Amino acid sequence: MDLARLAREGDESAFEEIMRRYSRRVFHYASKFFRQRSLVEEAAQEVFLKAFTELGSFEGRGSMEGWLTRITTNTCLNMLRSSRRRPELTVSDLTDDETTWLDNNLAAAATERHQSTERSSAAADLAGRVLQTLTPDDRLVLTLIDGEDASVDEVVKMTGWSKSKVKVRAFRARRRMRESVEKLLQRKDKG
């Protein structure tokens, strides 16, 4: 709260300290929305510029981290909504690496041996592209709940949405993503 008060009074070093403490968190959170580093950085910049101008609205009742997370959510969702591109993913879009990853993990799924191998950039690319077919709100909820095991309450805190909205979004997004992947697998088998 002291840092926020000092920054509000125009102390630049106090605001710099706020950025030092929370920029990793803001980057981490913005990374859930965008796959390109440039977009994550653009969003993070906008978050801190907004935070500086809205410092007056931070009353110190909640945590600074929670307040910044809320600003990050709104900023990223606005950026995504303004781009509004949700192309349908087709098999022909898959790279060789992505197809190989799908084949390996399908085999693993069939035998219930879930692969927890080293990070695969092909999988991350494919995940990003499948998620792009969902709405920004659906994408966020699904990434948080299914991707990071966040609870519904945590998502409510981060987004400011109601509990029922988060639950409905998660249900719908899960169905859409599954159907999207199922279609992709079926087309891949046929192709």
Partner 1 sequence: MSDHIISLIENASLASLSPSDLTAIRRHTDDCVDCRRAFEAAQISMLLLRERAAEIFEPSPFFHTKVLAMLRERQTAAGQWAWSRVWRAAGALASSMVLTVAALAALTFIPGSQAISGPQELTSLNSYSAEEVLLDQGEALNGQVSEAQILTTLYGAEDEAAK
Q: Which residues bind partner 1 (CB under 8 A)?
A: 12, 15-16, 19-20, 23-24, 26-28, 30-32, 35, 37, 40-41, 44-45, 48-49, 52, 102, 105-106, 109-110, 112, 114-115, 119-120, 123-124, 126-128, 130-131, 142-143, 145-149, 171, 174-175, 177-179, 181-182, 185-186
Shortest distance (Å) from residue 61 CB to partner 1: 25
Q: Which of 147, 57, 157, 50 is nearest to 42 (CA)?
A: 50
Q: Which residue type does 81 have? A: R
Please say which residue, 52 or 74, places its beta carbon nearer to partner 1.
52
With vertex at residue 32, the alpha carbon angle to CA 106 and CA 4, rounded to the nearest 5 degrees, is 160
Smallest gap from residue 186 Cβ to partner 1 (A)? 7
- Residue 1 vs 106, nearer CB to partner 1: 106
Distance CA 131, CA 126 (A): 8
For 149, what's the count of Cα atoms within 13 Å in the CB-facing half-sphere?
A: 0
